[in-house]
Every structure is written in structure tokens, then in C-alpha cells.
Amino acid sequence: MMPKATRRKRGRPKDRELTRRRQEEILDAAAKIFAQRGYPKTDVQIVADELRIGKGTIYRYFPTKRDLFLAAVDRGMRRFMEQLDASVAEVDDSLDRIAGVVRVYLAFFDANPAFVELLIQERAEFKDRKKPTYFEHRDANLGPWQELLRGLVAQGRVRDVPVQRITDVLGDLLYGTMFTNHFAGRRRSFEQQAEDILDVVFRGILTDREWKKRAAAVGKPRHSKGVAR
């Protein structure tokens, strides 16, 4: 008995690069329009009109408006994380790597205010999500940085405090600065802001004399505040 011949599917083979480019074009247009109009006032047809394609074409790549919006936010965070990684890839000193992350963080959101709008809209429109996209990416990428901090503690370059505490405080400081800049306007360059943040985080605000004075006043020893050099 002769084996059945395998039937070949008709039609053009799928061009992965073409698919990727079309997805990028759709996300570029969608991100811009969502940022300008807001999620509730953006219809997928508006995005299609911007690209001069049919609405159905967008739905082939992103089945719902929600999917389209969240894909745009996710892509923005992936680009952000890629820039962070690339900025420190060739930096050897651990403290210089942390300093580089602070600078790139502020620079990225300074250059991409529309993406900040998308983060704000996600928090407002998708309260059902257990964790917003920003924090999903942040938490997924914390491990190597916490390991780097443990190394600095072991070397005696950073105070012996839980590294989770350090990443929480520094992360909250940058997150808050990003939104303050967006809502209130940036009063100084992001380079100056980065230097101010690094100065206060690395060196603290109290002199050694004042820190010892406060420790004596409460009648119990405190860890030296330390200066990361």
C-alpha cells in the first residue's frame, strides 16, 4: 500500500520579517494615538486610518483594542530595559553601573513622554491587572542588580542592609522622579537630576559627626551611614 502523499499548503509562505515590520508599524501608530487621545477615545479604526490599512488587518495581529494597547506598553518597557542593559554592558565597576542606570532611566523617559502617558493610562484603565506592565518588567529584571549589590556589600563598599531595601528605595525614587517630571515639568536637565540623586543616595545628607550625634542621643549604636566610593 502506497503511503499517502503529504499535502502541501497553498499560499505564500509566511514572511516573519514582514510580519514583524507590520506589527512595529501598527504599534508605532497605536502608541502615538493612545498617548494623544487616551484609551477610551481611541478606536482601532483611527489607528487603521493613520496607517491607511483596513481595521481587520490590525485585528489579525492584535485581536482586541486592549491587546493592542497592552502590546504597545509592553514594547515600550522592553525597549527601556534593552537600553538599560546596553548602557552598562561595557562598564566594569559596579557602582558605575548603578550610576549609569540612573542616568539612562531619566534620559529614556525624558525622551519618551508619550510612553509615560501610556503607563498612566494603563494604571487608570486596567485596574483588574494584578501587576502593571512597568512592575512586571522591573521585577523580572531585579535579580542581577540585587546580586550586584550583594557583591558591593561583601566588598565593604555599600552598607550591610537588605538589598531589597536598596532596590525598593532607589526604584521608588526614580519612578517618582519620572512622574514628577512629566506632570510638573523638569526644572533641571536629566543629567543634573541624575547627579543629584546619585550624590544623595551614595553619600547621604548627614555628616559623620551628625550621624554619630544622633546615634548617641537615642542611647543605642547605629550602623555607620557609610559612604559608597
Least trusted range by pLDDT, from 71-75, 194-198, 203-207, 215-219:
215-219
Cβ pair 31, 115 in contact under 8 A: yes
Structural domains in the chain plus CATH codes: 73-217 (1.10.357.10)
> In the predicted model, what is the mean pLDDT of residues 174-184?
94
CA distance 222 to 229: 20
> In the predicted model, what is the mean pLDDT of residues 30-45?
98
User: What pLDDT is recorded for position 2?
Assistant: 45
Q: Name the amino acid, one letter, at 165.
A: R
Q: Give the confidence band of 10 by pLDDT, cuts at 50, 70, 90.
A: low
Average pLDDT value for the chain: 90
Tell me the Cα Rg of the chain.
24
Own/partner contacts of 191-195, CB < 8 Å, gap of 24 or more, are 191/103, 193/106, 194/99, 194/102, 194/103, 194/106
User: What pLDDT is recorded for position 188?
Assistant: 86
In the 3-class helix/strand/coil scheme, how is 96-160 assigned residue by residue? Answer: HHHHHHHHHHHHHHHHCHHHHHHHHHHHHHCCCCCCCHHHHHHHHCHHHHHHHHHHHHHCCCCCC
> In the predicted model, what is the mean pLDDT of residues 35-58?
97
* Residue keyed to cell 481611541: 42
Phi, psi dihedrals of residue 204, rounded to the nearest 5° = 75, -175
> In the predicted model, what is the mean pLDDT of residues 35-57?
97
Nearest to 163 by CA among 176, 147, 141: 147
CA distance 26 to 33: 11
In the structure grid, which three cell numbers stand for residue 151, read together?
A: 557583591
CA distance 179 to 54: 36
> In the predicted model, what is the mean pLDDT of residues 91-108?
96
Question: Is 219 a residue whose pLDDT tops 70?
Answer: no
Q: What is the Cα 137 distance to its own chain's centre?
A: 7
User: What pLDDT is recorded for position 227?
Assistant: 45
Tell me the per-residue pLDDT of 121-135, one tens digit each, with 9 for 90 and over: 999 999 999 999 999
Q: Give the confidence band of 187 by pLDDT, cuts at 50, 70, 90.
A: confident
User: What pLDDT is recorded for position 16?
Assistant: 86
> In the predicted model, what is the mean pLDDT of residues 161-189?
93
DSSP 70-88: HHHHHHHHHHHHHHHHHHH
